Amino acid sequence: MDQRAGIYNRTFQAGLVHESNFAPHLKHVIAVSGANTHFENPFITNYEARDENTGAVRTYFSLHDKALGSTYLDWNLGLEWQQTGSDITNYGNRAGKRDTVQASDYIAARQQFYFTRFTFRFPFNLTLEAATSLNYFRYDFRNDSTASQTRRFSPQLMPRLALSYRVNTQMAIRTSVSRGYSPPATAEVRASDNVINTALQAENGWNYELGFRAGGARYWIDASIFQYRLQDAIVRRLRDDGTEFFTNAGGTKQNGLELQGMLWLLRPSAKGFIRGVQLTAAFTWSDFTFRDYKSGNDNFSGKQMTGVPKHVLVTGLLVQLPERIYLFAQHNFTEKLPLNDANTAFADSYHLLQAKVGWSFRNLSVYAGADNLLNVYYSLGNDLNALGQRYYNSAPERNYYAGISYRW
């Protein structure tokens, strides 16, 4: 409070898309976009001000619904380029006001990739998708005391293969294998310790997934299990003065189950006081653990992955009434989760209950609701591995809202 810590962000975005149809099955699409962000973060240790400018281009050719006998083909071929330039200056923080300059840097992150994707829809209800992309990433950086330098990452090939089979009109099964790649973000390369970390490696890993979907007009259920092996996981660490930095921490084993579904307890009707009752639910089980993760003399291999709860269950109930009035309630249960890599501190599990009532008439909607009806105390976003066990951020107690929207 003394330092008036907070985050202030203003972003402007714009884009333009052009599409050309050369033939009944062939088209070309090009999209350009840009964004400008001004960000300020007075914090305990310093006051950061950041201006970012982003430009991007995406273009591709698309061949769709091309008949090859009784098989239909979709094919995309294209490229994407993006650059974000960040001017970052850190000042001393004097009760929420900028003080003397501590550090000033410029970082330009550039990435481009070439991609292609084939989708074959066979006549016996089988769909095959094969895709790949070749990814390039680099960042250039400089400050007042050093000349411009460049950090290049080796090109990465990311393949994906997926199969889906429609058993009947109400059920389909699917499976996929893919490789993912995620280079470090600017805020990780140049964290709040004001040091540009040229040793940080990109995350990468393989994901294997199996799932199915079944249902019809009254109900549906979607389920999937996955196994993901991540290498060079990027984790947040803190220095003795409370500033943060990021490092690669071996890898992670991520096994999971995701379930979601919908059921009309009372199918929609034009008669009666209660016109329809719908139940929805989503459940996530996450068995995420570190592997080969050593930090100094500490070995965190086998520990639960920081910040990830093992179980999350979200349920919702929608009640439709006459005159397009509706009632909606939602319950969220989140299990306890580890706050540090050593798993010696955990955030408690919590239950959140929300409710909303609304009315729609043509293009006009009016609604009102309440959040955190049980008035529970919980942390809305935890600071992981925080110095001095400052893990928690404030979350609102019971609160209310109302609004009006109009579409034309």
Beta bridge partners of 143: 105, 146
Please report the beta strands in 169-302, taking only residues with DSSP state E, as ranges in sequence order.
Answer: 171-182, 203-215, 219-231, 234-238, 244-248, 251-266, 276-291, 294-295, 298-299
Q: In this predicted structure, what is the pLDDT of residue 47? A: 92
Among the ranges given (113-122, 146-155, 248-257, 374-383), the one the predictor scored with the smallest mean pLDDT: 146-155
Q: In this predicted structure, what is the pLDDT of residue 251? A: 86
Q: In this predicted structure, what is the pLDDT of residue 284? A: 98
**DSSP conformational letter for 196:** B
Q: In this predicted structure, what is the pLDDT of residue 393? A: 86
Angle at the Cα of 253 from the Cα atoms of 256 and 333, rounded to 5 degrees: 40
Among the ranges given (91-100, 190-199, 202-211), the one the predictor scored with the smallest mean pLDDT: 190-199
Q: Could you tell me if 218 and 264 are in contact, meaning their C-beta atoms sit under 8 angstroms apart?
A: yes
With tokens 């074959």, the residue in question is 120
Q: How many CB atoms lie within 10 A of CB 122?
A: 12
Q: How many CB atoms lie within 10 A of CB 278?
A: 20
| Cα separation, 335 vs 160, whole angstroms | 33
Who contacts 310 (Cβ-Cβ below 8 Å, separation ≥6)? 285, 286, 287, 304, 335, 337
Which of 116-120, 241-245, 340-344 has maximum average pLDDT?
116-120
Percent of the chain at pLDDT > 70 equals 99
Mean pLDDT of 248-277: 92
| Cα separation, 290 vs 252, whole angstroms | 4
Amino acid type, 150: T
| Residue 233 banded pLDDT, cuts 50, 70, 90 | confident
Q: In this predicted structure, what is the pLDDT of residue 236? A: 77
| Cα separation, 188 vs 48, whole angstroms | 14
State how far Cα 13 lies from the chain centre. Answer: 19
| Cα separation, 210 vs 220, whole angstroms | 17
pLDDT digits 0-9 by tens, 61-120: 999 999 998 999 999 999 999 999 999 998 999 988 999 998 888 999 999 999 999 999
Tell me the two tokens of residue 9: 């962000």
Q: What is the 3-state secondary structure (H, E, C) of 136-188?
A: EEEEEEEECCEEEEEEEEEEEEEEEEEEEEEEECCEEEEEEEEEEEECCCHHH
Mean pLDDT of 180-202: 83
pLDDT reading at 237 higher than 80: no
| Cα separation, 182 vs 87, whole angstroms | 22
| Whole-angstrom Cα Rg for the chain | 25
Among the ranges given (5-9, 249-253, 271-275, 349-353), the one the predictor scored with the smallest mean pLDDT: 249-253
